[in-house]
């Protein structure tokens, strides 16, 4: 790392560590995670279904579900908060020309900002998890094993990639924008698209392809299972929906994290081994990494070629 890049990294990191916005997002994650896990735990304890035991394994899975749910909302917002104003705000204030007038190359400016954002994202994810996980474990009253903890720590990798994916997208939008407010609006629209609109579109596509579910009368009290026709129908719905959502970083993150805690069978608490998960779900990490790589590359290309007029 060159001295100029190191100066930019230090400046960006220190400014954000002193920022109320940065720590507010960490606090939001902790509150959302704890509230979600507490609500789910209370609902499960109040649920009484014959033959269903509320064991340690189910509570850990619910804990991970709470983590995945909270992180899938907050990690993108963290990436957006760090990226939308990275270039647009300095261009808006006119400071970008002053920076580039010095013996600093454009790629060094982006290198410093990207490295600083990576450091800040890693800090935020680690601090958020370290604060919220003990609280949620205590609320659930569940003992987390070494295997549970190792898988929880492994889930931090896609969490960091998800935040970086949205940061890279937001940085690209910031490079193209003249105003930070406009960049922020476009970033939020992208988040809404992936978080809310795309899942609805995927479900509509599945229903348009397969039509409504077959009208079959059945009694859930007998065996507690759906008829084969309905199971096959909903399996196909899931396959079509997953095919559409393969481009969604949010869905790729949730799918991978949930796979880490998939049990071998309903009768056991042992998880599917990590080798099998990596072999079958590597595409999830690949999509997240592709978002980071593609939009980072586009940011370099457009920023280097653009002439600053303000």
pLDDT at residue 296 in the model: 97
Amino acid 149: pLDDT: 83
Residue 7 has pLDDT above 50, yes or no: yes
d(CA 147, CA 261): 10
Assess if residue 137 is contained within a domain: yes
Q: What is the extent of the structural domain holding 220?
A: 3-305
Judge whether 16 lies within some domain.
yes
Q: Is 101 within a domain?
A: yes
Instruction: Count CB-CB contacts under 10 A for residue 133.
Output: 19
Residue 25 included in any domain: yes
Cα(62)–Cα(141) distance, rounded to whole angstroms? 13
Residue 287 within any structural domain of the chain: yes
User: What predicted TM-score, i.e. pTM, was given to this entire model?
Assistant: 0.89
In a domain, 12, yes or no: yes
What does the pLDDT look like over 252-266, one tens digit per residue? 999 998 888 887 776
Specify which of 114-118, 276-280, 302-306 reaches the highest per-range mean pLDDT: 114-118
What is the total count of domains within the chain? 1
Is pLDDT at 64 greater than 80 in this prediction? no
pLDDT value of position 146: 82
Which one is predicted more confidently, 296 or 65?
296
The crossing angle, in degrees rounded to 10, of helices 156-176 and 56-83 is 20
Return the pLDDT at 31: 87
**310 located within any domain:** no
In a domain, 298, yes or no: yes
What does the mean pLDDT of the chain come to?
Answer: 84
């Amino acid at each position: 790392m060159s001295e100029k890049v190191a100066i930019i990294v230090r400046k960006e990191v220190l400014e954000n560590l002193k920022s109320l916005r940065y720590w507010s997002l960490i606090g939001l994650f902790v509150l959302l995670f704890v509230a979600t896990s507490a609500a789910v735990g209370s609902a499960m304890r109040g649920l009484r279904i014959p033959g269903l035991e509320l064991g340690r394994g189910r509570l850990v899975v619910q804990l991970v579900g709470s983590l995945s749910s909270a992180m899938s909302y907050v990690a993108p917002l963290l990436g957006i908060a760090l990226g939308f104003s990275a270039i647009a705000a300095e261009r808006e204030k006119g400071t970008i020309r002053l920076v580039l007038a010095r013996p600093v190359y454009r790629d060094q400016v982006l290198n410093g900002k990207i490295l600083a954002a990576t450091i800040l994202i890693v800090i935020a994810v680690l601090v958020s998890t370290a604060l919220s996980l003990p609280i949620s474990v205590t609320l659930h009253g569940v003992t987390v094993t070494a295997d549970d903890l190792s898988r929880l720590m492994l889930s931090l990798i896609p969490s960091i990639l998800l935040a970086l994916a949205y940061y890279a997208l937001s940085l690209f939008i910031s490079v193209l924008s003249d105003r930070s407010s406009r960049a922020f609006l476009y970033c939020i629209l992208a988040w809404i698209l992936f978080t809310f609109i795309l899942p609805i579109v995927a479900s509509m596509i599945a229903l348009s392809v397969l039509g409504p579910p077959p009208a079959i009368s059945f009694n859930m009290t007998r065996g507690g299972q759906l008829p084969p026709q309905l199971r096959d129908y909903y399996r196909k719905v899931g396959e079509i929906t997953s095919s559409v959502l393969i481009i969604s970083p949010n869905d790729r993150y949730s799918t991978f994290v949930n796979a880490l805690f998939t049990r071998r069978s309903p009768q056991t608490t042992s998880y599917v081994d990590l080798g099998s998960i990596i072999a079958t779900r590597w595409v999830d990490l690949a999509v997240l990494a592709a978002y980071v790589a593609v939009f980072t590359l586009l940011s370099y290309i457009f920023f280097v070629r653009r002439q600053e007029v303000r």
